[in-house]
Each structure stands twice: as C-alpha cells, then as structure tokens.
C-alpha cells in the first residue's frame, strides 16, 4: 500500500485521525508514527528523544517505540501511563502529555506554555520532581482546561481554542509593538 503523503501536510489531523486510530486498533505504534507526535510537539527534541529511547537497550527505534507504546496500552489507568513516560522513559511533562493526548485524546491534554498563559496558572507544574505531586497537579490542569472555552467543545477542542486564544493575543501584542523586542525599543 502506498502512502498518501498529503496526509502528512496537516500533521495534527494525521495524528488524531490515523495515528490515534492505529494505536487503538493495534495497541502499539512504530517509530514513524511516534516521531510524528514528537515532531508535532517539538521538532527540536527528536534527536534527543531518539537517543534516550535507544539508551534503553533496544537495537533500533522501532523496537524501542513498540516496547514503549505496548507498555502504555497495557498500563492500568491514566496515572500509570503518565508514570511510564516520565519515570521509566525520562520524558518531561510537555512531551509526555502530547504523546498521551494523541493516544488517549479523551483523557489527556497538552501541557503547553500557550495553554498555561490562557489559564494564567500551572507554570511550575513541570518542575515537580515527585511523581504523585506532578500527577495531582496535572489532573488539576486538565480540570482547568475542561472549564475554559465553549462548554460544548471536547477536551481536544478546548486545547485548540486555548492555543488559538494565546496565539491571537501574542500576535496582536507583537503588531501593537511593531514586532520590536524590549531590547530594540
């Protein structure tokens, strides 16, 4: 079967239409789909994450990603899934939440600076070193995201809405300041 490369043009749609479904059906992902998530969240992190995955003793990225994603599929509950990514595989909260948002979009939302900016809260959550404390804070973060935006929106759409609101505010501010940084003024 040939790949329709047009699907990759809209990476978010590819992730939530194709990758999410594939994970749900198979119970694992291969490296290509997993790294599409990584690139979508933070392209600059792909080499560092590849190195971290390979450091776990797997011969290649496919086997590492299959092992990782199978462990997520077999985990008992959302807290256990987050713990696997953070404690077992060394992911930070922003990337861990992005991965889990694609795989479990009804339960997770992305911990992102734009969303934190709209909420005006949760800036220090990612710095927590105790997992239970981090998880409790993340649950509060998800609850706060669920409260913003139009009530009929899904959790994923509330994430998009918040991102768009932050983007709009930032662009309006940049235009008002003629795109000059504080140093340039």
Does residue 128 carry a pLDDT above 70?
yes
Nearest-Å Rg of the Cα atoms of the chain is: 18
Indicate whether 127 and 96 sit together in one domain: no
Could you tell me the pLDDT band of residue 181, with boundaries at 50, 70 and 90? confident
Q: Which two tokens stand for residue 78?
A: 């959302």
Q: Which two tokens stand for residue 39?
A: 């690139």
**pTM of structure:** 0.93
Cβ atoms of 121 and 129 within 8 Å: the answer is no
Indicate whether 183 and 120 sit together in one domain: yes
Which residue from 92, 74, 168 is spatially nearest to 129, judged by alpha carbons?
A: 92
d(CA 27, CA 70): 6
Of 52, 72, 105, the residue that ends a domain is: 105
Indicate whether 25 and 101 sit together in one domain: yes
Indicate whether 137 and 94 sit together in one domain: no
Provide the domain count of the chain.
2
Could you tell me the pLDDT band of residue 1, with boundaries at 50, 70 and 90? low
| Mean of pLDDT values over 23-49 | 97
The pair phi, psi for residue 179, each rounded to 5°, is 60, 25
Could you tell me the residue range of the domain that residue 12 belongs to?
1-105
Does residue 54 carry a pLDDT above 90?
yes
Which residue from 152, 128, 181, 150 is spatially nearest to 141, judged by alpha carbons?
A: 128
Per-residue model confidence (pLDDT) at position 2: 78
Indicate whether 37 and 80 sit together in one domain: yes
Could you tell me the pLDDT band of residue 183, with boundaries at 50, 70 and 90? low
d(CA 143, CA 160): 15
């Amino acid at each position: 079967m040939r790949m329709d490369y047009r699907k990759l043009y809209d990476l978010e749609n590819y992730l939530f239409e194709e990758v999410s479904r594939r994970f749900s059906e198979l119970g694992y992902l291969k490296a290509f789909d997993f790294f599409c998530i990584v690139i979508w969240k933070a392209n600059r992190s792909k080499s560092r994450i590849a190195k971290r995955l390979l450091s776990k003793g797997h011969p290649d990225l496919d086997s590492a990603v299959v092992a990782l994603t199978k462990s997520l599929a077999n985990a008992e509950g959302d807290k256990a899934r987050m713990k696997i990514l953070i404690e077992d595989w060394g992911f930070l909260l922003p990337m861990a939440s992005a991965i889990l948002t694609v795989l479990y979009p009804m339960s997770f939302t992305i911990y992102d600076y734009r969303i934190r900016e709209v909420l005006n809260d949760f800036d220090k959550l990612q710095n927590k070193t105790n997992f239970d404390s981090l998880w409790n804070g993340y649950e509060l973060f998800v609850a706060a995201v669920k409260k913003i935006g139009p009530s009929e929106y899904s959790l994923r759409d509330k994430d998009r809405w918040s991102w768009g609101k932050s983007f709009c505010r930032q662009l309006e501010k940049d235009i008002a300041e003629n795109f000059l940084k504080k140093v340039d003024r």
